[in-house]
């Protein structure tokens, strides 16, 4: 039997339920009728998980929401078959990591600290996701939602005078 593995995909060859080899993109011959081999295709292209995490507590216990994304790809499909739903596990790790990073920053500094927080989340995720067979390509944080009362305060002239010093 001939099988073609397309670019952005790898083929995991199983014999009697046991992984025996990984097929790279290209055309391959399998002796499926003789050895009862089956092939599971794994998408290794980069993809993104959208994040919309709320409520998160800042260092000064202000509940906020943060939006963003995690771009990632599978680098070791042999590991991901044992992990289960990789995207779900990665999203859980990203949410927990983001919560930890936001908890270190006071609410009023949060909007200005998004780039640094994204870098910290990327670094921590990169360390933690190797065991999932995944590489995190980038993390972007695109917005912060503050409570209504804090948004109103931030728009006031008194607040601007205090922060900007005018």
Specify whether the CB–CB gap between 163 and 108 falls below 8 A. Answer: yes
The DSSP output letter for 1 is -
Q: How many domains does the chain have?
A: 2
For residues 55 and 34, membership in a common domain is answered with no
Q: Which residues 6+ apart lie within 8 Å of 144 measured at CB?
A: 64, 65, 66, 67, 110, 111, 114
Per residue of the chain (166 residues), what is the pLDDT tens digit?
788 999 999 999 888 888 888 999 999 988 766 667 888 899 999 999 999 998 999 999 999 999 999 999 999 998 877 777 889 999 999 999 999 999 999 988 888 899 999 999 999 999 988 888 999 999 999 999 988 887 777 666 665 566 555 4
The CATH number for 113's domain is: 3.30.479.30
What are the backbone dihedrals phi and psi of residue 96, each rounded to the nearest 5 degrees, phi first?
-65, -40
Which pLDDT score, from 0 to 100, does residue 128 have?
86
- Say yes or no: 29 and 62 in one domain: no
Q: Containing domain of residue 153, as a range?
A: 47-164
User: What is the model's pLDDT at position 33?
Assistant: 61
Six-digit token pair at 24?
């790279």
Tokens 């998408």 correspond to: 43
Q: Are residues 127 and 67 in the same domain?
A: yes
8 Å CB contact between 56 and 63: yes
Provide the total of helices (H) and of strands (E) in the chain, helices listed first.
7, 8
Question: Which SS3 state, helix, strand or coil, does residue 106 take?
Answer: coil
């Amino acid at each position: 039997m001939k099988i073609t593995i397309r670019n952005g995909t790898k083929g995991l060859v199983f014999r009697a339920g046991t992984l025996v080899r990984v097929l790279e993109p290209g055309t391959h011959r399998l002796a499926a009728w003789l050895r009862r081999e089956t092939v599971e295709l794994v998408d290794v292209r980069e993809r993104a998980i959208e994040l919309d995490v709320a409520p998160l507590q800042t260092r000064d216990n202000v509940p906020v929401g943060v939006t963003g994304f995690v771009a990632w790809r599978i680098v070791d499909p042999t590991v991901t078959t044992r992990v289960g739903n990789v995207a779900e596990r990665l999203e859980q790790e990203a949410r927990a990591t983001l919560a930890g990073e936001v908890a270190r920053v006071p609410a009023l500094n949060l909007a200005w600290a998004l780039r640094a927080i994204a870098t910290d989340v990327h670094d921590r995720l990169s360390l933690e996701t190797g065991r999932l067979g995944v590489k995190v390509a980038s993390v972007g944080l695109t917005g912060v939602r503050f409570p209504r009362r804090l948004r109103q305060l931030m728009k006031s002239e008194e607040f601007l005078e205090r922060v900007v010093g005018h």
